């Protein structure tokens, strides 16, 4: 483990900048995900089914733009992909704060923002590959996963604070979305300091239901003022607390990645039985925690394996294709979420 950390510390400064960008990008992404369906229903009067379909279609559009932009990413490189993507996604998120008509809303959510996501999310993973060696890469992706979950925890805390102390002025969630744009501006300036260099060496559907289904299910089962985001924040809290220990236990043991994926996804899947049978706060917390312990086993390995599939210099399209299961899962989660809410968990 110490050998991996030593190699990680010797990585170029770009790796630290990528982590900073990943924190900012993840913060803004989770901030929107936490309120996505509630924002559509409360601000635009969309039904559960309509809001959930938009949630799913957003993922499909991100996938399509990812495939379309794959060759572009390969040609312009990590830095300029991130510059262009960050500028686009930040502008789109800022537009969501002020948009009032559905035409502009759909143009922003289903075109502009997916374009930005396609040029940032996967490219950040590509940056981690470029700025690490084979010795330090597994540890680097563990750190990446830790950074992402730290951002998720921060976004959840900010949502609670915002709902508590900042009035919404009759515009639910918009002050929160405005604050969530700030990391995007910071991310843009960080990307300008990246260099195009590389080191020369000698079950996702469950996750999407946390965004499309859980906020409404939890608030309807308890109360409209229930801090559902604090329950969801159990996920990043457990990750940031236990991932370093998990990483130390797994590294250097030569465990078969396939077996780790099976073990982790099985544990995450089992958590759904807890959430389905117990609607209390305790049941929700236990279910999310169970899901998270499984996620800590499979998620970092899946991140690393998906990035390593493509040939260096031609990873853009491969990375986009590797995201197909995730975005297809988001579509099915969104489509089923609205129906399930209106059928089994009505207001």
pLDDT at 115: 97
CATH number at 12-198+326-346: 1.20.1250.20
Structural domain boundaries in the chain: 12-198+326-346, 232-308
* Structure confidence at residue 108 (pLDDT): 97
- Residue 44 has a pLDDT of 94
Q: Give the pLDDT score at 205.
A: 53
pLDDT of residue 41: 92
Average pLDDT per 10 consecutive residues for the chain, totaling 347 residues: 60 88 96 93 91 91 91 89 96 96 96 96 87 77 90 94 82 91 96 74 52 71 72 86 80 75 89 80 87 86 71 68 76 75 71
Please give, one letter per residue, the 3-state secondary structure of the chain: CHHHHHHHHCCCHHHHHHHHHHHHHHHHHHHHHHHHHHHHHHHHCCCHHHHHHHHHHHHHHHHHHHHHHHHHHHHHHHHHHHHHHHHHHHHHHHHHHHCCCHHHHHHHHHHHHHHHHHCCHHHHHHHHHHCCCCCCHHHHHHHHHHHHHHHHHHHHHHHHHHHHHCCCCCCCCHHHHHHCCHHHHHHHHHHCCCCCCCCCCCCHHHHHHHHHCHHHHHHHHCCCCCCHHHHHCHHHHHHHHHHHHHHHHHCCCCCCHHHHHHHHHHHHHHHHHHHHHCCCHHHHHHHHHHHHHHHHHHHHHHHHHHHHCCCCCCCHHHHHHHCHHHHHHHHHHHHHHHHHHHHHCCC
């Amino acid at each position: 483990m110490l050998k991996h950390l030593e190699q990680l510390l010797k990585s170029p400064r770009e790796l630290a900048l990528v982590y900073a960008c990943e924190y900012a990008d993840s913060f803004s992404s989770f901030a929107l995900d936490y309120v996505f369906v509630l924002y559509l229903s409360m601000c635009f009067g969309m039904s559960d089914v309509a809001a959930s379909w938009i949630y799913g279609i957003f993922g499909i559009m991100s996938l399509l733009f990812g495939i379309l932009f794959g060759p572009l990413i390969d040609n312009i490189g990590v830095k300029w992909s991130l510059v262009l993507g960050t500028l686009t996604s930040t502008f789109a998120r800022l537009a969501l704060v002020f948009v009032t008509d559905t035409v502009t809303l759909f143009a922003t959510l289903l075109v502009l923002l997916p374009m930005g996501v396609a040029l940032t999310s996967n490219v950040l993973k590509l940056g981690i590959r470029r700025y690490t060696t084979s010795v330090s890469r597994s540890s680097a992706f563990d750190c990446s996963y830790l950074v992402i979950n730290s951002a998720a925890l921060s976004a959840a805390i900010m949502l609670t604070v915002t709902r508590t102390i900042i009035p919404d002025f009759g515009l639910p969630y918009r002050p929160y979305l405005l604050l969530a744009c700030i990391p995007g501006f910071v991310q843009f300036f960080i990307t300008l300091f990246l260099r195009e260099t590389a080191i020369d060496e000698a079950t996702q559907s469950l996750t999407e239901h946390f965004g499309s289904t859980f906020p409404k299910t939890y608030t309807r089962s308890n109360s409209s003022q229930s801090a559902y985001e604090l329950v969801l924040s159990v996920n990043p809290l457990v990750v940031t607390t236990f991932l370093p220990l998990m990483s130390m236990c797994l590294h250097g043991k030569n465990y078969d990645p396939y077996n780790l994926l099976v073990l982790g996804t099985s544990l995450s899947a089992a958590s759904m039985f807890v959430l389905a049978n117990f609607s209390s706060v305790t049941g929700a917390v236990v279910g999310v925690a169970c899901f998270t312990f499984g996620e800590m086993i499979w998620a970092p390995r899946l991140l690393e394996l998906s990035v390593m599939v493509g040939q260096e210099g031609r990873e853009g399209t491969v990375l986009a294709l590797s995201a197909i299961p995730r975005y297809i899962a988001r579509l099915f989660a969104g489509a089923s979420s609205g129906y399930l809410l209106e059928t089994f968990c009505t207001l």
